[in-house]
A and B are shown apart, each in its own frame.
Chain A
Amino acid sequence: MAKPKAFVRKERCLACGGCISVCPQDAILMVTSKAEINKDHCNSCSICVKTCPIGAIIWEGL
């Protein structure tokens, strides 16, 4: 089974950009004031999930 990918719950995101600054894959962009993860680039490292101060990033499907 493929690894789960990080996913931004947009209704929670407060656009601080922390996840973008630590993503080793450069897989996250700010799109209209919400972080958005490019699934194809995400390597499931979990850094963004742990970094988000308000728990807006979860594993897709979980």
Chain B
Amino acid sequence: MRFDVVVVGSGPAGSVTARFAAQAGAKVLMIERRAEVGVPVLCGEGISQKVDNFKVLEGNRWKASKMDGARIFSPNGTMITLSAEYAGSETGYVLYRDIFDQELAQGAVRSGAKLMVNTGAVDLLKKNGKITGVKAQRFDETMEIEADIVVGADGVESRIGRWAGIKTTLKPYDLETCAQYTLTNVDWPSPYCDFFLGKNIAPGGYVWVFPKSKDVANVGIGILSNMSESGKALQLLDAFIAKYPELSKGSPVRLLAGADPVAEPIESVRDHLLLVGDAARHVDPITGGGLMTAIEGGKIAGEVIGKAVEKQQFDQQTLSEYETRWKEAFGRKLHRNYVAKEILLGMEDKTLDMLADSLKDYKFEEFSTLSIIKALVSKHPSLLVKLTPLMKLART
């Protein structure tokens, strides 16, 4: 088999890359290890309304609900409300993630890409050290798929990057380990995505409650792997739900596990090779959200691939336009939020409570650095020292 491009993985990053590469005229094959695109779901199912700008989804089946913003609960339960305008870049729609992924994959196929399910990459093909495609397995059949460009869209556990010699192993402090339920018959009529912080609630992460419909919610937890013990994420999630009769009156219709890289992005381009989405660690280290960056980065990757195929140039230098452009689009933000993640991880629960207490009546509509500082200092002057590193970061 021979293609211009083989994309390994049909999640959002893979499908959007395949779509834009195919639209630009490249002959694209996408392979998916699983038997069904998008199943099992491996994510919290929240995405920014910015996704509408990319016009990669048809209809409304993928949308469970549209949210008015976010509420953040500090360890002692103090609530901060962020209106959609300011939380909008992180929350917006709650998804049916399986349908969402399938819509994106269908978009790629309608643009001319081929898709094979039940087909997993088992190695890179190389000739004289040069990447020439992937070796894949489908049931008992092993096949060689030759391609000028291999795209690793193979998620948090990316093998493609590793086979190409890129250091992909995550440190435990750079991984959120997650568990989540879809609970039905709950009583949580919130128009907001809710986030709960605290060392005893979710060490190094948070619990989320995302309402999907009148009495259905996605309730999940992410904790930092270096603060985890065997099965701890699920135990803490069960403990959280047990505290809220509004949730514990319901029953799960789905239990899922997840793994979310909250790392700095890694090298994303080699000769004949690109990494996109979670495989490239394109995830916001503060929120753990990676859907928007997967789509944004995938679009850039597809466009750059289109040009490379047209010019028949597949070297690292040609493909590095992808890296330059994703760094411009969101690289700085990911780096800044990685540093911010480390600062936030160093904060005691007490500090988070003080922060929340200062901001609980704050009107985020009047969002400005100066007015936030005023709100903080007037109530808890000692916060100023603790927040200095974050303030400095905000100015970079």
Contacts and interface: CB of A to CB of B under 8 A. Distances in A.
Interface in B213-260: 221, 223, 225, 228-234, 255-259
Contact of A21 (B40, B157, B234): B157
Contacts of A55: 230-231, 234
A18 B278 CA distance: 12
A17 B40 CA distance: 12
A52 B156 contact: no
A47 B259 CA distance: 14
Contacts, number: 97
A12 B222 CA distance: 19
Given A50-B230, A52-B177, A53-B177, A21 B169 contact: yes
B257 A22 contact: no
A42 interface: no
Interface string A1-39: 000000000000011111011111010001001000000
Interface in B43-97: none
Contact of B178 (A21, A33, A49, A53): A53
A51 interface: yes
Nearest to A57: B230
B259 A54 contact: no
Contact of B231 (A15, A20, A33, A54): A54
A23 B179 contact: no
B262 to A, nearest CB: 11
B261 interface: yes
Contacts of A54: 179, 231, 233-234, 255, 257
A50 B172 contact: yes
B75 to A, nearest CB: 21
Given A15-B257, A18-B259, A23-B169, A52 B33 contact: no
Contacts of B178: 16, 53
A7 to B, nearest CB: 12
Interface of A: 14-18, 20-24, 26, 30, 33, 47, 49-55, 57-58
Given A21-B259, A53-B232, 6 more contacts: A14-B255, A15-B257, A18-B225, A21-B169, A22-B172, A51-B228
